[in-house]
Amino acid sequence: MEAGAFGLSTGLIYVPQVFAGFEEVLEVAKAAGDCGGLYATHLRNESERLIDAVIEAVRVGQASGLRVQISHHKVAGRRNWGLVRTALELEEYYRRLGVEVTCDVYPYTAGATGLSALFPSWTQRRGREGFLRLLQDPEARERIKADLSRPSPDWENLLYNGGFEGVVFSHSKVFPEYLGLSLAEVARRRAKDPLEVVLELVAEDFDAGVIIHSMSDDDMRYVLRHRLSMVADDGSVVRPGEGCPHPRAYGAFTRVLATYARDEGLLTLEEAVHKMTGLPAWKLGLEDRGLVRAGVKADLAVFDLWRLGSASEFGDPHHLAEGMVHVLVNGDFVVRDGRPTGEMPGEVVRRPGTWNGGCRDGL
C-alpha cells in the first residue's frame, strides 16, 4: 500500500483463495484499510449463495475500513435469476449504514474462466499435480462426477450453472479443434458421457479456457442501469487471432455505448460514459482522471456515435470495435483516424498519497 497499491482484490472461487475463510481475508484487508484502500472482490459465490457472499464482502469492508467494489456483479444459473436485484437492494441498505459499496458489470450473459475452475474446490487442495493424481483414482472420479451433477452449498458449480451446452471452449493449445464447441458437442464427437469427457479434457489440458453461458439478459440490464454500477470487461489480454476468447476483450465498452445507450436508451450517453470514466475514477480516488477539464490527464476517446459498435461476437471474436476515431492517453494519440499509432504513453497509476476517509458519495 505504501508503494502505491489501491487496495486488496480477491477471487474467492479460485485456488488458493477459495480456501481462505472470512477471518483470513479480513486480516489482510485490515492492512490495506489502515492506508485507506479499496476491497475489490470476485464474490465467493455468484449463484445460490449470492446474498451470503455480498454480506461477507460488506463485512470485510465494515471491519477493515475498506471501500468495497463487487466485481462483475451477476447471478449465474437459471434457477437463481433475479437474485441480483435483492443483492443490490442489500447494497443500498449498507450504503445507508455508511459502507461505501459499489459494483461493476460487463454487458454479456456469459462469463469466462479456466476449465479447472469447473471442479469442486476439494479436488485442488494439493495443487495441480495432486488434482491430476485424483483423476487417476476411480473412486475419486465417481465422487467428482457426482459433485458436478448437482449444486452445492460449499462451492459454486459453474458447470451446473451453464450446463454442457452452455460451456464452450475458448482456449487450448492441446485441442484447438474444439475451440468454439460446447462440452456437449465435444462429448458427441468423442461418443462418450459428457461428465467423463470433462474429466478427460482437464487431464489433457489443465490450462484450457472456457466461456460459460449462464446469466439472464434482464439481470444484466438491471445491474447495468443501476446507479451503483460501473462498466467493466473482466477480460484478459488476448493475442489477436489466437483462440476463441470472450468478445468482451474487444467490445465491452462500445457495446454499452452503441447498443444500450444509443440504440435502446437503457442509459443516456452521458450516463454510459460516466460509468466508464468519472465514476471509476471517483471510486479509486483519482482526481486528475475521468473528467474532461483543464488540468487533468488528457485520456480521451473520440468516436463517431453512428458508426460505433462491437464487431466481436461469440465464435468470431477477433474484431476491433468500430467507430473509434481517436484515442489519446496522457495527451498523446495511441489511435489516430482509426489506426494504432504505436505510441505507448501510458504509465503506472498509483494511489494518491492521501485519502480523506469516510464515505464520499460521488454518485
Kindly state the percentage of the chain with pLDDT values over 70.
Answer: 97
In the prediction, which pLDDT does 70 show?
Answer: 99
Binned at pLDDT 50, 70 and 90, residue 201 comes out as: very high
For residue 19 the three cell numbers come to 480456501
In the prediction, which pLDDT does 155 show?
Answer: 92
User: How far apart, in whole angstroms, are the C-alpha atoms of residue 10 and residue 64?
Assistant: 15
For residue 102 the three cell numbers come to 459499489
- Burial class from Cβ neighbours inside 10 Å (0-12, 13-18, 19+) for residue 262 reads middle
Give, as one character, the DSSP assignment of residue 19: G
> Do residues 204 and 175 make contact, with C-beta atoms less than 8 angstroms apart?
yes
> Do residues 351 and 285 make contact, with C-beta atoms less than 8 angstroms apart?
yes
User: How far apart, in whole angstroms, are the C-alpha atoms of residue 253 and residue 261?
Assistant: 11
Domains and CATH numbers, the chain: 7-109+215-340 (3.20.20.140), 112-213 (no CATH)
User: How far apart, in whole angstroms, are the C-alpha atoms of residue 267 and residue 273?
Assistant: 10
Helix axes 50-64, 83-96, angle to 10 degrees: 20
User: How far apart, in whole angstroms, are the C-alpha atoms of residue 80 and residue 218?
Assistant: 12
Q: Which amino acid is at 328?
A: L
Residues 6+ apart with CB under 8 A from 353: none
Binned at pLDDT 50, 70 and 90, residue 355 comes out as: very low
> Do residues 1 and 30 make contact, with C-beta atoms less than 8 angstroms apart?
no
pLDDT at 286 over 70: yes
In the prediction, which pLDDT does 357 show?
Answer: 43
User: How far apart, in whole angstroms, are the C-alpha atoms of residue 46 and residue 246?
Assistant: 19
pLDDT at 361 over 50: no
pLDDT at 237 over 90: no
Q: pLDDT (tens digit, 9 = 90+) per residue, 163-179?
A: 999 999 999 999 999 99
pTM for the complete prediction? 0.94
Q: pLDDT (tens digit, 9 = 90+) per residue, 320-339?
A: 999 999 999 999 999 999 99
In the prediction, which pLDDT does 222 show?
Answer: 99
In the prediction, which pLDDT does 363 show?
Answer: 58
User: How far apart, in whole angstroms, are the C-alpha atoms of residue 256 and residue 270?
Assistant: 12
φ and ψ of 201, to 5 deg: -65, -45
Q: pLDDT (tens digit, 9 = 90+) per residue, 81-107?
A: 999 999 999 999 999 999 999 999 999
In the prediction, which pLDDT does 57 show?
Answer: 99
Distances in Å between the Cα of 323 and the Cα atoms of 60, 183, 260, 305, 335 are 42, 35, 16, 7, 12
For residue 122 the three cell numbers come to 476439494
Mean pLDDT of the chain: 95
> Do residues 220 and 231 make contact, with C-beta atoms less than 8 angstroms apart?
no
Q: What is the DSSP string of 243-260?
A: S---THHHHHHHHIIIII
